[in-house]
Every structure is written in C-alpha cells, then in structure tokens.
C-alpha cells in the first residue's frame, strides 16, 4: 500500500514554490521521490530549491511573472524541457489585496483575477496538452476557504478562488476519462505571509479562533499529506475534488 504513495521518477512542476505553502508542497513531493522544479516570481524560488534539494539530487528553479502570458508559456515550456517531461503540476502561486469593495480599484481586480485564475487555467491547459496525449498526469490547484464562502474585504480573491474550484471540476469532467486527475486543495487559515494582514489583526484572529475546532492556525506542513495523496497513484480514482485542509472550519 505504501508504494502507491511513492513518487519516484515522477516529474513535478510547482508554481509559487518559494512561498510558505508552495515550499512545503515542493518539499513533500521531493521527499516522496519526485523530481521537482519550482517556479516563482522572485529569488525565493531559487532559495527554496536550494533549501529542499541536495547536491546529489537538486531541485531546479525558474523565475517568471505568471501575470505575463508570454512569460508564462515560455517558462512552462522551459520547465518541461528541464524536467524531461511532466507528470505533476501544482498551481500554488497567488496574490491577495484586501480592501473594501466600495473602493476596490479595478486595477487590483484585474491583477488578482489574472494571477489567481487566468494564469491557473492557462497552466492547466498547457499541462493538459502534455498529459492527455500521454494518458496520465496529476494537476493539483490550490483553492481556498473563499472557494466556499465570500470572505471579508477580498472580493477579487473570492471571485478567483471560487473560479478555481469550478474550473477544477470542469477540467476533471473533460480529462478524467483520459487518465488525467484534476483536483484542488482548499487550505483553511494557514499562517503565511500572504495572509499576514489577518493573523496580525487581533480582532480577526479572535473571530477565527472562536470558530476553529482544531484550536490553532494551520501550518504549511499540514498540507503535505494531501498533496502527496493527490499527486500519487493512491488518488487515481479521485477526480474534481476540492479537499479542505482547514482544521474543521467548514464543519462549524
């Protein structure tokens, strides 16, 4: 049974791998035997690759702005070439801008939707063009609690993450019969720099803790088991699932 979770020889591309969650997911895939390439917009991608990999078995990295569609297509092609193919895609990049909806700038709306939804679809499409012909592949998107609810003061992020969940299901409907699994992980309140504006707000922190059955914020490492499951043969009959890893948030 343990062998069904192993990823030896699998080639994995992780976007946003320099961030807290992306770094943890990259580490989990690597630890289970996958060859990993991290894409990020800054030096943090290179730093994460150096931290996770070893001289004998390095993790590769590339820097790119995934809001730039030409750069996105180019870095995807380069990543697949460096990996020698593609078996696993984890879309973990994203941005959030918190502001009242009455004054929310359309420029921030456009930037958030481009980064958190449009680029995710384009990467899924590019991966699908590799995976469908080969008859196998695992695509794992990162959804959110705001895929299920509207959240607070983050209208563009909620719209994008709602879209990621529905897009994941739509692609699963098309590609599951072709050997490609498309699923998503929906992290709960996991403490990262992306949501620093929440966990540094004592009022919001108190509100969140009052609802969290687990009694604590999540840690990026809490997502490792789920990404390994979805990337491995253990999940071969799992399609279009949005799996919450939320400390029980949705159950209350």
Sign of the torsion angle spanned by Cα atoms 82, 91, 137, 130: negative
Residues 128/51, Cβ–Cβ less than 8 Å: no
Instruction: Judge whether 237 counts as a catalytic residue.
Output: no
Handedness of CA 36, 166, 241, 23 (dihedral sign): positive
Let me know: does 176 contact 218? Beta carbons within 8 Å: no
Cα-based distances in Å from 2 to 32, 102, 177, 234: 11, 52, 25, 9
Contact 173, 122 (CB under 8 A): no
Q: Which of 30, 157, 189, 237 is catalytic?
A: 157
In whole angstroms, what is the distance from residue 123 CA to residue 80 CA? Answer: 12
**Which residues are known catalytic residues?**
157
């Amino acid at each position: 049974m343990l062998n069904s979770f192993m990823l030896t020889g699998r080639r994995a591309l992780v976007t946003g791998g320099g961030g807290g969650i992306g770094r943890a997911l990259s580490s989990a895939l690597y630890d289970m035997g996958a060859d990993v390439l991290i894409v990020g917009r800054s030096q943090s991608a290179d730093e994460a690759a150096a931290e996770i990999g070893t001289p004998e078995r390095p993790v590769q990295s590339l820097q790119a702005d995934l809001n730039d569609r030409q750069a996105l297509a180019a870095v995807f092609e380069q990543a697949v070439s460096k990996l020698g193919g593609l078996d696993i895609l984890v879309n973990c990049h994203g941005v959030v801008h918190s502001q009242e909806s009455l004054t929310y700038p359309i420029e921030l709306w456009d930037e958030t939707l481009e980064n958190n939804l449009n680029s995710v679809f384009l990467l899924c499409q590019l991966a699908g063009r590799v995976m469908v012909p080969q008859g196998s592949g695992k695509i794992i998107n990162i959804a959110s609690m705001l895929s299920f609810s509207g959240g607070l003061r983050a209208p563009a992020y909620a719209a994008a993450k709602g879209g990621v969940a529905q897009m994941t299901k739509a692609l699963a409907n098309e590609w599951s019969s072709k050997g490609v699994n498309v699923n998503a992980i929906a992290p709960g309140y996991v403490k990262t720099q992306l949501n620093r504006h929440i966990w540094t707000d004592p009022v919001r922190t108190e509100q969140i803790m009052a609802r969290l059955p687990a009694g604590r914020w999540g840690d990026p490492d809490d997502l490792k088991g789920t990404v390994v499951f979805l990337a491995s043969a253990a999940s071969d009959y799992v399609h279009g699932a949005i799996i919450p890893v939320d400390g029980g948030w949705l159950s209350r």
